[in-house]
Structure 1
């Protein structure tokens, strides 16, 4: 059946924003600005966390890796969307669609796990400050980042192969902005219960479980913060966590709702909007959230810009 499907469906049609034919050029301009800002904002985070010695700490090490993930993550979806809007060509080959889904998930899973690692870092810093440098040494930080990148890769590759081995009911129209798993599952038919169950299982494994771990960490963090004797101490401790909490809310809120919609759901417009949040809006706002609410990052940016001005 898998071989028959591959010969019957050679390409898909990504509808994207084809229901807004008069706004294609405007949308192209909007998403181009968003993509460039994502590249510049997250690139700047990487540069300052690498160049400023004051930011050579585990928290900013993870932040730099998170920013790099955001650049890779958005580069899987937004350039293709820009191409579709510019050329009005909605066709995408089966192989390109499979590659887009596979790379998107391979990058989304480390992002989810890295958010857990960042929450654990804040937990150790606030709840076990005397042991922080011992527990979060450089070797451990590197191992945690590598584990974040590699942990879900075999499952994601197997999941992608499984999806593209299904029967697509002679329909190749994807009513979405990129080849995402929920939109592809809506095209399948006949005996897909276990495949849908595996999708939900992966969502729980890489979505709900990390979110529960983050919530558990912050429950312990807030309990510790409330016990701090000074108001200034509580405020300072909370400020180191607030940016991460906002990012977690944006990323998990939109992603989990989108992936847990039933196959028969007709809320395509809402699904597109949710996907825009976790593929574009969240990576766009992350540098702003971490920089505007962090005095160390602002100071590092001022130092960098002053150096650039001197060189000029």
Structure 2
């Protein structure tokens, strides 16, 4: 049965930001996770989102992907308010983005080539031979030429990450999201993934958003860095400006210094004896 294409979305003006976030607020239950986040992602840049554990990085990424609805605020992607368009229009918009998941998220029962062709099977009516050629082309881009018949279990950690990138870019997205691309990799392999991200941006002009806690990777690949802390943006600026930031929380993050709040002895004793009541 022929696929029914989703309704066409108008093409945004070329000078518009790739993504705009305005006054974004999110709660998990009664706990506020994002508190008035506002940022603009420029077309063609690599923006790195970083912060400590619990800072809101993953929650912000989920909003950018349209997986969560905010309590307040707006997210615009490629000129479209992703919380105001229909589900079918959001599906069409998502076909313009790619996601490289932290674990790779390859299907273990499919070969590398079949994993990469999966988005093409779901969203296009291309001939099988055409899809195979496109998969091989993307494997060439990520330096995995000839790996299409391998199974995920036969790949190293770095190869899994590269295969995940090939799948993420197989439909030539306008925006690429990368969740902790260097996590769990040795320094040499991590550096090769950083080089791959920079190459994809330079070769295709796509906008790349990277969520990471790896400082060395962030400094190497970022055009700008967005630092989150307790659901708020502390600063968005170039790598050098972030390095020189006078904000003590940013310097704590860069210096890997823990935040230890002052403890009142009387309050500490009360919490021990009364169970925090």
- In the superposition, the TM-score normalised over structure 1's length comes to 0.22
